[in-house]
């Protein structure tokens, strides 16, 4: 794997900052066809490994009081549905993974490249330019991906909890759930929670990518230039930076994620009681039901899932970018 500094100018301090970490593979350096095909396969496998934690989190978020422990909720799913209960809705989720990830990666890399280059031309210091570009890329990627992810979330989450005591809805599969939601509520039913999803994931993605870029810079400075060509050092730094950023993002966005999930799942057709239809009403009902602590239902599984997912996804993502580099642009 080869790296090199990419920015040398009259600002001596900025030269040192640019060399404090290995050079990044930019959007222009990628073979896009290889990038998307390999990315679809790679992230589908990672999603399959982490899906049970998402199912557990969703059950905890929609469960009526008193709130059960995560271990008790997991045991209840196993008793009721067996191991397959942890993969309810996975087919619907996987069907949306390819287009959503493609949109996310394209928006992320194109925006990071454009904003980073513009910031450097304006004389912004390298660390600040990198953080700003990453934050902007995170926002645009999150918004673009939600166009696909929100309907996928609505369908897959309904399938996840259909055997839960919190709902009485029953579907024969993803296609049946899609059809019933469309017939009952129209297209807006499939995009229930779209606004709060953007409110949740856009700032989360911005904070995540900015934190990841900053953490990487700090860790590479600690590791030192002598290890820039080390594959093991690269994996360790990227994984640690991603896990820290993922855990922090989970904590900050947990209340909005809980409200979003309840809006998407506990509708009047499937829940035992009429459900709120607005963000404010759902938040008020949640706090009334279990106090402010209710906003953090499922935090443990979500924290673990986001930290592990972030470390796994980013390590795979950075490796994917190296694999997808055009001939002559870089090497593994």
Q: What is the CATH number of the domain that holds 60?
A: 1.50.40.10
- The pLDDT value recorded for residue 311 is 84
| pLDDT computed for residue 143 by the predictor | 92
Is 244 domain-assigned? Answer: yes
**Residue 68 token pair:** 């059960």
The predicted structure's pLDDT at residue 253: 83
pLDDT score of 140: 94
Whether residue 23 is contained in a domain is answered as: no
Residue 174 pLDDT: 86
CA angle 323, 315, 303 (to 5 degrees): 150
Q: Are 212 and 241 in contact (CB under 8 A)?
A: yes
Check: CB of residue 205 under 8 Å from CB of residue 139. Answer: yes
If you average pLDDT over every residue of the chain, what do you get?
81
d(CA 9, CA 52): 49
- Per-residue pLDDT, 16: 44
Range of the domain at 177: 41-324
Report for 76-85, 221-230, 241-250: range of highest mean pLDDT: 76-85
Confidence of residue 6 (pLDDT cuts 50, 70, 90): very low
For the chain, how many structural domains are there in total? 1
Statement: residue 239 has pLDDT above 70: yes
Tell me if 142 is assigned to some domain. yes
Residue 25 lies in a domain: no
Q: Is residue 150 part of a domain?
A: yes
Predicted confidence band of residue 122 (pLDDT cuts 50, 70, 90):
very high
- 297: helix, strand or coil: coil
Cα–Cα distance, 102 to 110 (Å, whole number)? 12
Backbone angles phi, psi at 146, to 5 degrees: -65, -20
Residue 64 within a domain:
yes
Question: How confident is the model over 134-190, as pLDDT tens digits?
Answer: 999 999 999 999 999 899 988 988 888 877 766 667 888 888 989 989 998 899 989
What percentage of the chain reaches a pLDDT higher than 90?
A: 14
- Strand partners of residue 167: 271
pLDDT of residue 328: 62
Residue 274: pLDDT band (50, 70, 90) is low
Kindly write down the DSSP assignment for every residue of 153-173, as one continuous string. HHHHHHHHHTTSTTB----SS
Q: Is residue 26 part of a domain?
A: no
Helix ranges (DSSP H) in 162-193:
174-185, 187-190
Instruction: Please give the structure tokens belonging to residue 287.
Output: 């706090």
Residue 22 lies in a domain: no
Predicted local confidence at residue 266, as pLDDT: 64
Stretch 100-118: mean pLDDT, rounded? 89
Angle separating helix axes 231-265 and 126-161, nearest 10 degrees: 50
State pLDDT tens for residues 43-53.
788 888 889 98
Is the pTM higher than 0.85? The answer reads no
How do residues 20-36 score in pLDDT, each as one tens digit? 667 777 778 888 888 88
């Amino acid at each position: 794997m080869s790296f090199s500094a990419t920015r040398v100018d009259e600002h001596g301090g900025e030269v040192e900052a640019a060399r404090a970490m290995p050079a990044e593979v930019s959007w222009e350096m990628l073979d896009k066809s290889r990038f998307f095909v390999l990315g679809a396969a790679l992230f589908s496998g990672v999603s399959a490994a982490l899906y049970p934690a998402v199912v557990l989190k969703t059950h905890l978020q929609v469960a009526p009081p008193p709130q059960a422990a995560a271990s008790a909720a997991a045991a209840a799913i196993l008793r009721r549905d067996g191991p397959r209960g942890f993969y309810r809705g996975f087919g619907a989720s996987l069907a949306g993974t390819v287009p959503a990830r493609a949109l996310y990666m394209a928006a992320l890399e194109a925006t990071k490249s454009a904003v980073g280059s513009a910031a450097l031309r304006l004389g912004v210091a390298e660390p600040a330019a990198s953080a700003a570009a990453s934050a902007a890329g995170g926002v645009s990627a999150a918004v673009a991906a939600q166009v696909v992810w929100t309907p996928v979330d609505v369908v897959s989450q309904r399938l996840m909890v259909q055997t839960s005591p919190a709902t009485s809805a029953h579907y024969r599969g993803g296609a049946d759930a899609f059809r019933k939601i469309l017939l009952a509520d129209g297209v807006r039913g499939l995009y229930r929670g779209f606004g709060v999803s953007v409110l949740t994931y856009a700032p989360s993605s911005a904070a995540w990518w900015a934190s990841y870029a900053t953490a990487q810079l700090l860790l590479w400075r600690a590791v030192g230039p002598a290890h820039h060509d080390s594959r093991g050092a690269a994996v360790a730094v990227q994984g640690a930076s991603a896990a820290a950023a993922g855990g922090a993002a989970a904590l900050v966005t947990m209340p909005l994620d809980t409200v979003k999930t309840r809006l998407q799942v506990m509708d009047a057709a499937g829940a035992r009681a009429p459900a709120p239809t607005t963000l404010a009403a759902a938040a008020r009902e949640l706090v009334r039901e279990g106090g402010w602590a209710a906003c953090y239902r499922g935090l443990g599984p979500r924290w673990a899932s986001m930290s592990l997912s972030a470390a796994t996804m980013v390590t795979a993502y950075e490796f994917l970018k190296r694999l997808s580099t055009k001939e002559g642009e870089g090497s593994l």
